[in-house]
Amino acid sequence: MMHEPEMTAYLLKKFTHDTVFLDIGANIGYYTLLAAPLVKSVIAFEPQKRPHTFLEQSIKQAGYTNVTVYGFPLFSGVVQGTMNPKGMFRPIQGGELRSVSLDSMNLKPDVIKVDVEGSELDVLEGAERTLRTYKPILAIEIHHRRLTKFGRTYGDVSQFLRDMGYKIIPLVCYNDVLCGTVGAEWVF
């Protein structure tokens, strides 16, 4: 069974043999493993230990040499934090994880997928220079209710990206008439 068929179909159309693909919030690596045989390189970020370990084992088993997996979260900058059981990174003093910004990594992505359980705007703010410089294709799953736990809204995310010249195209909505309250995948 295909996972998230609309997002899968969209991303498959964007991948070429020259693509550098960033999978931010990779989980067990569905999109990482989908992209690996089709693109130049995949850089995946998954801070949760169990999915991260599973992803690394899957990459090794498949024999992919063009995939790098990082076990730290991306955020707006360097902060200490922890992962809650729902996979949300929560900044807290003394947390076991240390985040970094995408900008600090000096990557040149062509396509970025973001699924970070409510930290979408924080991740994008930490990628502002990268987004402005390289204008990668973005595929973002926005978690409306979880955004509010960070004091953010869908409007904040869309305005941030519109200010950088991105166009918002809804791909699919879940359990929600206008994609405003539950969850939605959006392409920018």
Interval 49-84: pLDDT, tens: 999 999 999 999 999 999 999 999 999 999 888 888
φ, ψ of residue 111 to 5 degrees: the values are -135, 135
Least confident range from 26-35, 47-56, 175-184: namely 175-184
**Residues 6+ positions from 64 with CB-CB distance below 8 Å:** 33, 36, 37, 42
pLDDT score, position 187 = 61
Question: Would you place residue 188 in the very low, low, confident or very high pLDDT band (cuts 50, 70, 90)?
Answer: low
pLDDT score, position 17 = 98
Stated pTM of the model = 0.91
Class of domain 5-187: alpha beta
Examine the pLDDT at 127 and tell me if it is beyond 60.
yes
Domain borders along the chain are 5-187
Examine the pLDDT at 168 and tell me if it is beyond 70.
yes
